Structure 1
Amino acid sequence: MRVVLAGWDVRGYDIPFPCEYAGLVEIDKLPALYARCDAALVLSCSNLSLLPLELMACGVPVISNRAPYTQWLLNDENAKLADPNIQSLVDAVVEVLETPAVAQRIQHAGTAFAEATSWEREAARMAEGLAELAGKQP
């Protein structure tokens, strides 16, 4: 297995496994980077970015931690969700990488979800959530 890390320079961190550092990747080159991946582990401890949606659009099975702040976008159909502990996350990654039927199911559901999503739809969902917090209907 080869791990690819993209984003800020993490070479100064003590990463205890071999990995490829893609660094900061130009936006037009991200789909090619994503398409090279058999799976993507995207963790969040606060708010989930749109990275899982980008990965789904590129046909990559997404693995993430199960939490209220991830489940506004991810569910057990379009991603492999695991409890936020090392063993559960390792088990989820291994299952996706070693069980083609699981990876394919997540990939197909994720791609379909990404294709059905739009900025307008997500903006409407956000407006609904904010209105609900304010106790009003949009």
Structure 2
Amino acid sequence: MFAADHVLRVRMLYKLIFRVHRALPAELRILGDNYARDEFKRHKNCNPHEASIFLHEWTNYAINLAKQTKPLHQAKKKTVGKYLDPKMLDYMTDEQLVQLYELHKATSLQSDDPDQINVSDKNINDR
């Protein structure tokens, strides 16, 4: 029974994330959708402890993004996102740091052409 509940929770969260991404600008939506899809695939067979942490963090992400994309919040602040606590970098693996850097590069492009952002499904771990 636990496995069925877990699968249901994961599916609901996965769908929620994509629904919340609909409120993002097109470039960020594509980037966010691809990133979420890749992360959920990567963690498909993780151990229960990692799954608990994974679901907790993605749930917080979905809640924060939903709050930030509400029309009232957008009218007041016009911002989306949250700064990463620098202490979190100490807990990340080299692989995660590379992934974070790549994400930073992709979102920091100063271009009017959204097609220049590389949002392919390429797995950063394949490097």
TM-score above 0.5, yes or no: no
Name the TM-score, length of structure 1 as normaliser: 0.30
Name the TM-score, length of structure 2 as normaliser: 0.32
Structure with a larger share of its residues in strand: 1
Structure with a larger share of its residues in helix: 2
Which of structures 1 and 2 has the larger relative contact order (alpha carbons within 8 angstroms, sep 6+)? 2
